[in-house]
Structure 1
Amino acid sequence: MYLLFSILCSTLIFVIFKSLSKYNINTLQVIAINYFVACFIGLTAFQGNITVENTLQSDWFLGAVFLGFLFISIFFVMAMTAQKNGVSVASVASKMSVVIPIVFGIYVYNEGTGLQKIIGITLALIAVYLTSVKSASEINFKKNLLLPVILFLGSGTIDTSIKYIETTYVPDNGIPLFSASIFGIAAILGLLTLTIKKEFKITTKAIIGGFLLGIVNYGSIYFLLKALDHELFESSTLFTVNHVGIVMLSTLVGLFIFKEHLTKKNWIGIVLAIIAIILVTLA
């Protein structure tokens, strides 16, 4: 259930971002507000006494600072990649990064690598690529190669770090506060960015968008952390199912809600995604 909720929340993030451009809402303002909302939800959900001193002295705090910086930095890299290389390149680079936490889980945590699981992961990577590529876009990774590489490495580092810090330093009841700290750091950096760009005139639409995005953004991380904390799945299995599930559901939402056109490659990708999820989960 935690994994399903994480996939659903991550897909809703896609829906909200898609709606921002439709209603001409300032994306940067929405992102900054969303981090403050997500931070507040985490602080409210934490059952225990919260003090600045205890938070700063927590074993996971430096990790939260690192992740908060990565969260907002990689988003800007994703935006730049989409602008300079195309949306498909940004989508493929960010989603294919799932290979990094998968390899990390196999080598660091000695997770299983049976034939069925390897086939499932391979199909998952192919499915991510086929589902992300749109017919009207040209995939050109050689153009501005640095941006897709940074996006790939950054996205993979985020997932890998979340898993490592959660299992190594975060106590069972500390996930809400840990999540809140990540979003709090990202919120501060977002506020600094708004200040530098002098975008102080925040609209009502941006506040509403930021509020909604903050709820689902917090949910996507919180439920992912709860799923990682569960002993049912290995992290390599969980990240595979999570990423493929998000890509597949987002594509279907684009089809039925935003009336996006799907190519034969996209449909083949969806079918392969379903097969990959079944193989990896049962493995």
Structure 2
Amino acid sequence: MLYVFLSICCSVIVSVLLKLAKRYQIDVFQAITWNYSMAILLTWFFFKPTIPSLQNAPIHIYLGLGVLLPLLFMVMATSVRVAGIVRTDVAQRLSLFIPLLASFLIFGDSLNKLKVIGLIIGFAAILCSIPWQKKTANRKVYSNAWIFLLIVFFGIGIIDILFKQVALFKEVPYTTSLFLIYILAFVIALIVLIFRVATKKTKFSWPHIMFGWILGVANFGNILFYLKAHTSLSKSPSTVFSAMNIGVIALGTLVGLVVFNERLSILNKVGVALAVIAIVVITIS
């Protein structure tokens, strides 16, 4: 569970950086693009991945993640604009249903009473952590908003499943797989960024690039430890899926409270407490 904890910490750092990016008017898409370049360099520096024969490699999974990682970010940005941050947040959190179902139907995970209790408490924590009482005044919710929310819901769930498959594939080291996925994601994001620059929707700027590199360090740690967690707990993917999601909620809420002075309702506080209990129960199971 150490890898799960480290992945949770890195994930929350990514969220904090993205929140700071908005505050300091950083072009988030440009930062996301350059974050992949830093992730590529870190993977190369620390793990010296060798590019093996790709004949037996799961190319379709690499392509899926390489495309989904940057494109889902763009969809999420659009979802926030047309549906609001609250609804998008709900779609993200409820996406846990998809990898959990996959862990039992595809990956052969087993259930016991303690794990079922932990998952039930975890879903209660997710529901309690959602900011139901936030107003979306002065924000128009577009009629096609549900399409973007649906894509966010399925997209995040599918990405979780694909990363699990990468962790299970033994013929190629997962660090090499990670290196190839980062390259694909960077190339696709860079193509979109060059198009945006050519159409004068944005321009290259050092603050955006440097912020992206800082973001890349945290994102590298997040995905690396997430894959390590799936590798070390290969027979219990539901533990990783649920503990990761619930842990991000608990730690993210606490960071928002302490660092950004965000107000929590009584229901949100109950959600944090339930999240901690759920992680303990799932870990014991």
CA contact under 8 A between 1:100 and 1:156: conserved in structure 2? yes
The aligned counterpart of 2:267 is 265
Query: Per the alignment, do residues 55 and 131 of structure 1 end up closer, same or farther by CA in structure 2, a change over 3 Å counting?
Result: farther
Q: Of 88, 91, 94, which residue of structure 2 is paired with 1:90?
A: 88
Q: Distance in 2 between matches of 1:41 and 1:56?
A: 22
Query: Per the alignment, do residues 189 and 55 of structure 1 end up closer, same or farther by CA in structure 2, a change over 3 Å counting?
Result: farther
User: How far 1:38 sits from its partner (Å)?
Assistant: 0.7
With normalisation by structure 2, the TM-score equals 0.90
Query: Per the alignment, do residues 98 and 141 of structure 1 end up closer, same or farther by CA in structure 2, a change over 3 Å counting?
Result: farther
User: How far 1:56 sits from its partner (Å)?
Assistant: 4.3
User: How far 1:98 sits from its partner (Å)?
Assistant: 1.3
The aligned counterpart of 1:130 is 128
Query: Per the alignment, do residues 81 and 55 of structure 1 end up closer, same or farther by CA in structure 2, a change over 3 Å counting?
Result: farther
CA contact under 8 A between 1:86 and 1:137: conserved in structure 2? no
Q: Distance in 2 between matches of 1:157 and 1:176?
A: 20
Q: CA RMSD in A?
A: 2.2
User: How far 1:42 sits from its partner (Å)?
Assistant: 1.4
SS of residue in 1 equivalent to 2:30: helix
User: How far 1:170 sits from its partner (Å)?
Assistant: 5.1
Q: Distance in 2 between matches of 1:17 and 1:133?
A: 19
Q: Distance in 1 between matches of 2:216 and 2:15?
A: 13
Size of the aligned set, in residue pairs, is: 278
The aligned counterpart of 1:150 is 151
CA contact under 8 A between 2:49 and 2:179: conserved in structure 1? no
User: How far 1:188 sits from its partner (Å)?
Assistant: 0.9
Q: Distance in 2 between matches of 1:42 and 1:58?
A: 22
Deviations 1:86-110 (A, max 9, x none): 1121112112111211111112233
User: How far 1:235 sits from its partner (Å)?
Assistant: 0.6
Runs of 4+ in 1 over 4 A off after TM superposition: 138-143
Q: Distance in 2 between matches of 1:191 and 1:232?
A: 34
User: How far 1:203 sits from its partner (Å)?
Assistant: 2.1
Moved more, 143-152 or 255-264: 143-152
Q: Distance in 2 between matches of 1:92 and 1:276?
A: 19
Counting aligned pairs with the same residue, the percent is 28
CA contact under 8 A between 1:13 and 1:213: conserved in structure 2? yes
SS of residue in 1 equivalent to 2:95: helix
Deviations 1:95-126 (A, max 9, x none): 21112111111122332212221221122122
The aligned counterpart of 1:160 is 161
SS of residue in 2 equivalent to 1:91: helix
The aligned counterpart of 2:101 is 103
Give runs of aligned pairs for residues 123-272 of structure 1, distance below 5 A: 123-133=121-131, 135-137=133-135, 144-169=145-170, 171=172, 174-198=173-197, 201-231=203-233, 234-272=236-274
The aligned counterpart of 1:23 is 24
Moved more, 124-133 or 255-264: 124-133
SS of residue in 2 equivalent to 1:195: helix
SS of residue in 2 equivalent to 1:135: coil
Unaligned 5+ residue runs, structure 1?
none
Deviations 1:65-99 (A, max 9, x none): 21010111111111111111111211121121112
Q: Distance in 1 between matches of 2:36 and 2:56?
A: 21
1:14 aligns with 2:15: yes
Q: Distance in 2 between matches of 1:218 and 1:129?
A: 29
Q: Distance in 2 between matches of 1:163 and 1:136?
A: 34
CA contact under 8 A between 2:166 and 2:174: conserved in structure 1? no
Q: Distance in 1 between matches of 2:196 and 2:262?
A: 33
User: How far 1:254 sits from its partner (Å)?
Assistant: 0.9
Q: Distance in 2 between matches of 1:203 and 1:24?
A: 12
Amino acid at match of 2:113: L
User: How far 1:257 sits from its partner (Å)?
Assistant: 0.5
Deviations 1:241-267 (A, max 9, x none): 011101111111111111111111211
Q: Distance in 1 between matches of 2:27 and 2:9?
A: 24
